[in-house]
Amino acid sequence: MFCVIMMGTIIIIRILFISLIFCLTDGGVPVSFIFGDSLVDVGNNNYIISLSKANFYPFGIDLGDPTGRYTNSRTIVDIIGKELGRKNFTPAYLNPTTKGPVILQGVNYASGGGGILNSSGQIFVGRINLDAQIDNFANTRQDIITIIGFPAAMKLLENAIFSVTIGSNDFINNYLIPIISTAKQSLVSPDEFVGSMISRFRTQLTRLYKMGGRKIVVTNIGPIGCIPYQREVNPSAGNNCAAFPNEIAQLFNSQLKDLISELRTSLVGSNFLYADAYNIFVDIIQNYTTYGFENANSACCAIAGRYGGLLPCGPAARVCDDRSKYVFWDAYHPTEAVNVLIAKRLVDGGLNDISPNNIRSLV
C-alpha cells in the first residue's frame, strides 16, 4: 500500500513539474525552432570565428544594441513571434544562457553565411550550415527529453513551429561568387546546381520531421538580383535588378514548391507551409512608394558603390537618417520596416503569400 501511495505521489509530482515547465513558456505562445541564414540569425555567429558578424555598430541601431542581427532592428522571425503573442525573442542556440527550461520556449539555430550545401559560405570561414544546425537541434531535443520526458517532449515538438529560411548563400556566396562563378557555371549548369540543393534540402527537412517536427514553415529565396550587392556586380543591368540571379532563384523556388507539396503528401501527419518571400519582396520593390518607402535599390548602411553595395556595412559606413524609408538596410539585408511587412503577410496573408494556409492558421 505504501509503495502504491509513493508511486502515485511521484506521478503527481511529475505531472505538476511538467505543468510548471510549460507555464514557463511564453504565455502559451507556440514554441519556435528557427533555422536559417543571416536573414534570421539573432546572434549565433557572435560565438564562432567567422568573417560574417553583425555584433557591432551600426547593426541594431534601432534596437538599442548590436546583438548580432543583420539589420537595423528586428528580424522577420522576431516580428512573427511578436505577432503570435510572444513577449521575448527566441534565443540563439550558442548563447551560454540558452539552457535548462529556457529551451522549452524554443531556440534559434540560424547562422549568417549558412547554406543548404555545406560548401556554401566558405568565403566567411566560420558559419553553421543547415546540416550542423539540425545537429544542434538534435542536442536540444535530447535536452528537452531529459527535462520533461519523452512523451511530453514529443507533444511539445508536435505543436511547435519549425521555421526554415535558407538558400540565398548557396547562390550569393557559392554559385554566383564573382570571378570563380564563371568557371563553376561552365562545369555545373543552373539546373544541376539547383537539383543538388533540392536533393539535400529534401533530406534535411525529412530529418526534422523524423525528429518530431510537424508544423514546418519553409521560406523560399527572395529576389537576390535586386539586392544592392548584386546590382553593383552586374552593372549591365542598369537601374534594373540583375536578371540571372533572379532567374535561378525562381528556378529553385519552383522546385522547392513542388518539394514542399511532395513532403506534405509523403510524410504522414506533416504540415509543411511554403512561404513565398520572393513574391512579397518583389511587390514591395515594385510598389515601394505605396508602402511608404523612398528608396528601393540602395543600402541605408553604405560605404562604397553606386548602390552602397560594394562593401559590407560597418562602423565606417554612412547610415541613412530614416531607416523606415529604405527597403534595404545594407548590401544584402532588408530593413526592419520590410521585415515587418513580410512577417505580417506570412502570419495573416493569403495563398499568394503563403500556402496552403498562413502561420496563424497553422497555430
Q: Which residues belong to the active site? A: 38, 330, 333
Ranges assigned E (strand) in the chain: 32-36, 106-108, 161-165, 215-219, 271-275, 295-299, 301-302, 318-319, 326-328, 354-355
Using an 8 Å Cβ cutoff, are 260 and 218 in contact? yes
Residues 6+ apart with CB under 8 A from 265: none
DSSP 334: B
Which residue is listed with cell 540563439?
Answer: 92
Residues 6+ apart with CB under 8 A from 179: none
SS3 state of residue 138: helix
The rounded distance, in Å, linking the Cα atoms of 280 and 320 is 24
DSSP 219: E
